[in-house]
Amino acid sequence: MPLPTFDPADYPIQLATKVAHFEQNFAPFGVANTAVHASTPLHYRMRAEFRIWHEGDDLNYAMFDPADPKQPITLETFPPAAESICALMPRLRDKLRGNESLRRRLFQADFLATLSGEMLVTLIYHRQLDEAWETAAREMAAELGIGLIGRSRGQKIVVDRGWVLEGFELNGRQLRYKQVEGSFTQPNGGVNRQMLGWACQQAAGFGGNLVELYCGNGNFTIALSPLFERVLATEVSKSSVHAAQYNLAANHIENVALVRMSSEEFSDALAGREEFQRLKDIDLDPFRHATLFVDPPRSGLDGVTLELARSFDRILYISCNQETLRDNVAALQDTHQIAASAVFDQFPYTHHLECGLLLTRR
C-alpha cells in the first residue's frame, strides 16, 4: 500500500466511503442513523515519528514508501501533524544540523504534542549518549521550549520530564491528562474529544455503577466518572496505571477504584472463579449489574471477556478494528442488540475508522 496523499478536497469523499463500508458491514445487526464524527482534514495528529536521513553533514526527516522501501522520501513538513509539530520540525532540524553531539548517529525523532500546547520530543540514536550530548540537549530543549528524551540501546536520558500534560474542555469541565512518552494516547486530539462527548451522551441518565476494562491512562474514565455513582476501572499496563492514578487526582475524581489487572483476570474474579489480593478491599457485588465500558486492543474481546459482557445490561464499546468488533457483536447477538452507533475518523486518508456502539440487553 503506497503512502497516502493529504488533499483536503478528497477528504469528504474518502470519509463517506469509509462510513458506507461500516454501515454495510453492520447492516445485518440493524445499524442505522450512525453518527459520523469527522476529523479536521489537516494538522490532526498529536503524535508523529520520522526517520532521520543523513547525507554527509546534512540531515532531514524521512519516511519510506512500502512500495519502494529503500528510497527515502525527505520531508520539510508533514501536513497531518499538529500545527505545533509542523512549526517545530524545521527549528529542531536546524539545531540538530548545527551540533555534532546531537546529530551523530541520530536515527529517529518522535514528537508528542497536546491541544494545550505542550511538546515532548524523543531522539533515538545508534550510539551511547554522553555528557556532551546531555549538555547540548538541555541547551536545545530550553531554547525550543520543549521536553526532550534521548534514547539508545539500554539508555534513556530525560531532560526535565518524560511526559506532557494535556488539557481541554468537555461538557463544561476542564479535563487534564498526563501523557507518558512511549505509552498509548489517542493520536487525534480533536476526534478524541468527540469520542468522549459521544460516550458521555450515551451514558447520560444510566446512573448506577460502571465497570471499565482497558482504561489506559483514564481517557474515558475521567470523562465518564461524574455520570456514575462508582467506577471500577482495570488496566494491565503499569505505566498507564500510574498515569491514570495521576489523572484521577489531577481531576479531583474520587469515585473510581483503579486496579492493575487484565480483562481475563477481572472476568474470573467477577464470576467467582478466582480471588485476587488486588481486589481484597473492593466489594464486587455492586458492579455485577453495572454498565460495562470497553475500549480493547485491535484483537477485540477474548472469549472469557465476552462471557463477562453477557452479564451486563448495557455495553458501551469503542473499537479501533471494526472486523473484530463485528465478530464480538455477532457473538453477543443472542443477548444484546445495537441501540446506537457512531464512527470517529481518527486517521483521515487511511482505511482505519474508529467505531462506537451502545449495546443493550434484548
Can you give the pLDDT of all 362 residues of the chain as single tens digits? 456 688 999 999 999 999 999 999 999 999 988 999 999 999 999 999 999 999 988 999 999 888 888 888 999 999 999 999 999 999 999 999 999 999 999 999 999 999 999 999 999 999 999 999 999 999 999 999 999 999 999 999 999 899 999 999 999 999 999 999 988 899 999 999 999 999 999 999 999 999 999 999 999 999 999 999 999 999 999 999 999 999 999 999 999 999 999 999 998 898 888 889 999 889 999 998 899 999 999 999 999 999 999 999 999 999 999 999 999 999 999 999 999 999 999 999 999 999 999 999 99
Q: What local confidence, expressed as pLDDT, does residue 160 receive?
A: 87
Q: How far is CA 139 from CA 102, 133, 136, in A?
A: 11, 10, 5
- Is 200 annotated in the active site? no
Residue 222 CB partners (closer than 8 Å, separation 6+):
175, 177, 247, 248, 251, 253
Q: Annotated catalytic residue: which of 307, 320, 323, 355?
A: 320
Q: What local confidence, expressed as pLDDT, does residue 1 receive?
A: 45
CB 344, CB 354: distance < 8 Å: yes
CB 294, CB 286: distance < 8 Å: no
List the Cα angle 346/112/152 in 5-degree steps. 125
Rounded distance between C-alpha atoms, residue 58 and residue 60, angstroms: 7
CB 191, CB 344: distance < 8 Å: yes
How many beta carbons lie within 10 A of that of residue 34, not counting itself? Answer: 18
Using alpha carbons, select from 34, 24, 36, 23 the residue that is nearest to residue 340.
Answer: 34
Using alpha carbons, select from 191, 167, 153, 175 the residue that is nearest to residue 43.
Answer: 191
Q: What local confidence, expressed as pLDDT, does residue 3 receive?
A: 63
Q: Annotated catalytic residue: which of 166, 181, 235, 354?
A: 354
- Is 307 annotated in the active site? no
Phi, psi of 68 (to 5 degrees): -145, 70
Q: What local confidence, expressed as pLDDT, does residue 242 receive?
A: 94
What is the pTM (predicted TM-score) of this model? 0.93
Q: What local confidence, expressed as pLDDT, does residue 2 receive?
A: 55
